[in-house]
A and B are shown apart, each in its own frame.
Chain A
Amino acid sequence: MAEITGKKETKKPVIEIGDGPAIPRKTDVGLFTAWRFSFIGAIAIIAYLAISKPDPYLAILKFVPDGILVTFQVTIEAIILALVIGLFTGLGRISKNRIINGIASIYVEVIRGIPLLVQLFYIYFALGRVINLPAMVSAVIAMAVCYGAYMGEIFRAGIESIDKGQMEAARSLGMTSSQAMMHVILPQAFKTILPPIGNEFVALLKDSSLVSILAVSDLLRRGREFASESFTYFETYTMVALIYLIITLFLSKLVSIMEERISVD
């Protein structure tokens, strides 16, 4: 998952590797054409297959859109919840209160050390013995709790990237630390963290395919349902892969446009 470095004074070289598709920037000619090649290519292949061999490709295309909606639903609900968790985690991580700081830090350490798939199983099957949550709710909670930890680090880095003179100026005017955070620090930090949040969104969308294991009818699950009935595994998973690819490429393009807009002002 994408990490951002927060402290301005760190001069160590940073290797930035996100696990979404690399974000195309206009300056990066090779990548830009690679993005275009993949995006247009994926659409062209889908169109070609659907037209030239409607059975099963067109049938697959008609069957899976319900799943795309579920994938987006899980992703959007999880990201919103993750943002809330992340904000409080980030604030907790910079808190001078040892208990709050401790809780936030332990949360981040623990969650980042457990694979998302195991967390999904844990919330649905293990906790399911105590409180029986619907699959969809379990899925959203597990994804949000997991991504909240990563978001927390993004928020922390974003807040720490703001010059400390800003906080001092706000506090000198008599603002409480939460007023200063709300009116001065977070609005500025938000600009810095918007692109990494966009990357997390893309990463979360891909990871949301894991929820198909909990019998949530997302894109992957719908594909599996179709394939197991028609025995067209190759055809179905090809289409599923291409659809995921188009969605993530499209979203990372949006992130890069957003990044450009922000850097303009």
Chain B
Amino acid sequence: MSTDNKNTMVKLRNVYKYFGQLKALDNVSLDIYDGEKIVIIGPSGSGKSTLLRSINKLETIDAGQIIVDGFDICDQETNINKVREEIGMVFQSFNVFPHKTVLENISLAQTVVRKRSKKEASQISTELLKKVDILEKSNEYPGKLSGGQQQRVAIARALAMKPKLMLFDEPTSALDPEMIGEVLEVMITLAKEGMTMIVVTHEMGFAREVADRIIFMDFGAIVEEGTPEHFFKNPTRERTKIFLNQIL
């Protein structure tokens, strides 16, 4: 893939992260370019989520460098809140705000962080609710929504900040099977619109369809990376083959 003329959105250099004795990230280096869709796969405990969470500093790394959108996020001088405004994050457990209506969920950070007026925020929220096809639930509380609907609200909430980069941390793992499709659909639409996305998932169909690059991690390290073509037809590393055999 020719990447010379593209800007780097995320740059990781020799990143290490430990949880006590456990090496969660082991010398990870990675460049992600504007508009690229990266899917990270690997067995549980392989460091996929930790890698993703390091990018918006929900985890602090122990060594190495992470540069996001030109900002060195490990630098004490960097205002991490400003960087996070540009990074949308979607969680496995949705984490919608249960005390706010669907519309308020999406408007909250727009008014508090982006300082948009209530009216402007509501307009943007309404448009996004249309986009994730859940407009009719605007005034409901999340408790009344299905998992799939909550996750779509969570995606809309992240998009409302007009982020440059979206992180998805196993967005469909907590969903009942019949709801996975509706969430993936939204993500595929987003990908087609050119959003830069990093997705940790076990959905191989999604990886095959959307990913520009798939990254396979194990024991905190990147074992293999390549196009879906490369991955599903002729993976080179033994560990990758074993993993793909297990899940396909």
Contact = CB atoms under 8 A, between A and B. Distances in A.
A188 B113 contact: no
B82 A174 contact: yes
Contacts of B81: 171, 174-176
Interface stretch (A72-80, A179-187, A209-217, A235-243): A179-187
Contact of B113 (A163, A165, A174, A265): A174
Nearest to B114: A174
Contacts of B95: 163, 165-166, 168-169
B155 to A, nearest CB: 12
A228 interface: no
A175 B112 CA distance: 7
A173 interface: yes
Given A174-B82, A174-B85, A175-B81, A187 B99 contact: yes
A172 interface: yes
Contacts of A179: 112-113
Given A183-B112, A187-B99, A188-B98, A174 B84 contact: yes
Interface centre among B96, B112, B161 (most CB of A within 10 A): B112
A245 to B, nearest CB: 37
A172 B84 contact: yes
Interface in B149-182: 154, 157-158, 161
Contacts of B29: none
Contacts of A174: 81-82, 84-85, 109, 113-114, 161
Interface in B105-124: 108-109, 112-114
Contacts of B141: 265
B188 interface: no
Given A183-B108, A184-B97, A187-B99, A173 B91 contact: no
B212 to A, nearest CB: 24
A172 B87 contact: yes
- Interface footprint category on B: 20 to 34
Nearest to B53: A168
Is chain A's binding surface mostly helix, strand, loop or mixed? Answer: helix
B99 A188 contact: yes
A172 B56 CA distance: 7
Contacts of B157: 169, 173
A170 B161 CA distance: 12
Interface string B77-98: 0000110110111010101111
A65 to B, nearest CB: 41
Interface in B42-73: 56, 58
B114 to A, nearest CB: 8
A165 B161 CA distance: 19
Nearest to B108: A183
B97 A166 contact: yes
Contact of A169 (B85, B89, B99, B112): B89
A181 to B, nearest CB: 12
Contacts of A183: 108, 112
Contacts of B85: 173-174
Contacts of B84: 171-174
B183 to A, nearest CB: 16
A175 B114 CA distance: 10
Given A165-B95, A172-B58, A188-B99, 10 more contacts: A168-B95, A170-B109, A171-B84, A172-B88, A174-B81, A174-B84, A176-B81, A179-B113, A184-B97, A188-B97
Interface of A: 163, 165-166, 168-176, 179, 183-184, 187-188, 191, 265
Interface of B: 56, 58, 81-82, 84-85, 87-89, 91, 93, 95-99, 108-109, 112-114, 141, 154, 157-158, 161
